[in-house]
Amino acid sequence: MKRKLRFFKAVVIKVCAIFALVTVALNVSAQKGKSKHFDEAGLFLGVGYYNGEINPSKPFYRPKLAIGLNLRHGFNERVAANFQVSRCKLEGADRDFTDEYRRKRNAHFENEVIELAFCGEYNFFPLEKGSPTNFVTPYVSGGLGITVASFPGQGLRACIPFGVGVKISPNNKVTIAFDWKYRKLFSDMLDQISDDMYSLDFEDAAKQKSFGSNDDWYSFVGVILSFNLGGGGNKAGICPAYK
């Protein structure tokens, strides 16, 4: 247990250091004023849930608090890059379901997840901070991430986050994003049901092992509140036709 705590402490320290360095770099870039667009830093608050052997498809299963730190760089009114560090404690239990198969297996787990993800974002409509007209847009996002959790017999695992959302920029200081991303995880051990945990030679064949060819998934749904670090964007009160 102490070894696990030391591992997570080391990961958190490294994550915070990376986040601080990226924040400083973006802030310096924004202060130079070379871009007419914007850089943002903010907070993510929402819920997370898991899909896997225990819960194959049910959305919002046992939702748990998910929190994170977020950085976004806008290349133009439609394209942005996003870096996010998130944390959530995921869980699941066979006893939540009524089918005999899972009732007899009676597996359960809790797993604390820390994720670092880089994603590209594409806005369907041009988004201009502070604009009286172009202040809201739906968007899609996708990228690559690293998931830190307890994977028996495995180390860090890669994941592919992808999702949809809606951004609102009521002024040139704040952006609010309603974000929903799924994570394709390159591991079947998030729920800690290993291939040999339940042998088919067991007295009751209903106690089935994990399906190793089907990796686990998880999802974060929530709100990202971002603040302008000093980049451009349309200044409040200036008509976009004359910017």
Output the tens digit of pLDDT for each of the chain's 243 residues.
455 555 555 555 555 555 555 555 555 554 554 444 558 999 999 999 999 989 988 999 999 999 999 999 989 899 999 999 999 999 999 999 988 877 877 889 999 999 999 999 999 999 988 788 889 999 999 999 999 998 887 878 999 999 999 999 998 899 999 999 999 999 988 998 876 555 555 455 545 555 555 789 999 999 999 998 875 444 444 444 444
Residue 133 lies in a domain: yes
Residue 242 lies in a domain: no
Residue 59 lies in a domain: yes
Domain that holds residue 174: 2-233
For residues 111, 117, 120 and 122, what is the CA-based torsion angle, rounded to 10 degrees? 40
**Rounded CA separation 124/52 (Å):** 32
Looking at residue 213, what DSSP letter applies?
A: T
Total domains present in the chain: 1
Residue 150 lies in a domain: yes
Residue 239 lies in a domain: no
Residue 84 lies in a domain: yes
Q: Mapping DSSP to helix (H, G, I), strand (E, B) and coil, where does residue 119 land?
A: strand
What are 64's strand-pairing partners? 48
| Furthest-apart CA atoms within the chain: distance in Å | 77
CATH of the domain at 156: 2.40.160.20
